[in-house]
Chain A
Amino acid sequence: MTAALEVRGLTTQFETRGGVVTAVNNVSFKVEPGKVLGLVGESGSGKSVTGFSIMGLIDNPGRVTAGEIFVHGVDMRKLSATEQRQMRGRDIAMVFQDPMMTLNPVLRIGDQMAMAVRVHEKTTKRAAWDRARAALEIVGIPSAGERLWAYPHQLSGGMRQRVAIATALLHQPAVILADEPTTALDVSIQGQILAEVRRLADETNTAIVWVTHDLAVISSFADDIAVMYAGRIVETGTAEEVIANPRHPYTRGLIESVPSLHQAGEKLPQIPGATPQLSKLPQGCPFRPRCNVANQACLGEPPAHDLSGRRVVCHRPLEAAA
């Protein structure tokens, strides 16, 4: 089975006042159809830039400098600009943190969704509206037919995000990239959307890349996890394994600092220091200054270890727990 999305060696750089900054550094991962990959990282880890790079949304002063992006086995970066544009939105679609990034405030939901249909397909307006209604029903919007006549501002934040997801679904893309889509929403609404998205992946066989900073969200509905730090993927594996048995010190630190795993009132194990600025990365492993197992060896580029379906980029990967 070919992966719905496979990224190999993706590198994105930005030119800044202080020189060239590598925001995404040699990132590789793949997602099978119907699977959910959680791309986890803190702010500045390059997780969102990875998503934008795949969607071709990197503008000056940034540039994707290397890598291959296979969608359904086709390398998008080898295609012409027009062909790439045709693939985006049809074969690979994106959902943003703020749904207003995709929604036009002055158009009715139905009109803009129909427009999105007709960009890639020649259909009648009527048929496009029917498709839009069907998509809204898939994401669990009640009385979808009426919602088509609404303007974005008449909907709640949760509803708008559902509309954005429905819009992404219109062409039954192979992959949906979702960038922190539930971060701005309330937990009860987030729960509803996570349930819908999981059902979508299972039923429509869409592959989903869920970019987030929230490990708890990922652990409760993703199949695989890729953890990013300072522009690189430091650990990948199935969600259960990575959460239960982190092998990279950073992943372990992240998991341990979640309060719900500890006695109330007890001090939390913490990762010291702050995320480094990409323009001033320390030598060798970028996590070294904050790492509690680092030693001299970590001054060199960290090697990748393939450990039974897992991949850890670290000089001193942690022992598997019993």
Chain B
Amino acid sequence: MTLDRRTFLSRTALSAAGLSSAGLLSACAGFTGSDEGSGGSTGELTFTTWGTDSELAGFRRSIDAFKKANSGAEVVLNAVPYEQMFTNIDAQLQSGEAPDLFRVDYDNLGTYAGRGQLLNLEKLVDPSLGEEFTDAMWQAVQFEDAPYGVPHHTDTSAILYNKGALESAGVTSVPTTLDSAWTWDEFEAVALKLRADLPDDRYPFAYNWQQSGVTRWLSWLFQADGRFLADDLTTPAIDSAAGRAAVDFTASFFPRKLVPANSSVKSSVYASDIFFSETVAMTFAGAFLLPDADKLASFGWGATFSPRDARGGGDLGGNALVATADAKNPELAAEFLTFMTTRGPMEDFCKGSSLLPTRKDLVDRGIEFAVRPELSTVFLQQASTVRPADAEQVASPSMAQINTVLSDQLELAFTQGQSTEETLANMTSGIAEATAS
């Protein structure tokens, strides 16, 4: 666990301080912008993002290609640690010092759009731009039927498993197609086999819902074919048979010791860390963790699909790129956003960073990650389980408050024995309060 955390922290620090090396990497750019040499637009844009080394290198290559295509344009990249990203952006927006562009996760996009902080791209981008993206991802950047960003990449969780631990427990095969993904019952049976085989200080699996990952719990709700917001996107809809099934099932992991007691939603222990340290035999993880797993897991491991219940479902990971409402050059900002989601830059970024594309053509054709390319298809297929209706709920402007409600109530259900009925009732009142404010 520590090794991974240290690696992450040191990467972040290096990323912030070492953009020059990213620039060096960009010299080896593997794609060319579609408008190369056209002369194009002029002006300067400021762009704030966080990122791993490979993500920053990908951004730098895309920026260089944009500048090559628009010889009078300058894009200043400002890399900050993720932990400071949104408190900084909030403060900069409040003080009128915000960058022209920034990277934002889909949970937060609605919060900024709903508070008038983002540039409405409806009249600045080609009206057919939305057709380039999968329906769910284009939906994820909408607010009141207008686009407020572009879906730059996505990610979703699948299961990483320790091959030796599964074999030892008698689990000799794992699903290899999305259609044959474990049902909840099958997944539970695998977890119980592992529980019976593992010593007391090791556990069958960990789920990646810790801290800001609490939104990932919603995958269980979606798999049970539930919603947390009704069609009007303000009325709570979580108190349902699907909601009960999701809370019941996930809360039952703790007393049965299927997950470590310290892996609840408010824990400072991350699921991937305890997988790398072999405390758990399986973990739910996004594709972005594949490079870390490749370096840190000293055992044989593979990936399979998340379980399904009434249907398959996954979390809406990844990030959009947005322009701020007060961007100095809105046309150039929109042009940059469009460019970043053209096929070349997106494919290059996703391959290098182990992230999933949002463009239909890339999804259809498939991409291969630079690390463990054979696992790309697992994550690509898993991402197809995210439906537009799921995405529009997660993109709610109240999502930040809803996440706090989910975190508080799930923590009580998982660690304090709060009943499912009380948990759902509290979630309902909390979500209603969040969407009313």
Please indicate whether A and B come from the same complex rather than being unrelated chains. Answer: no
Interface residues, chain B, CB within 8 Å of chain A?
none
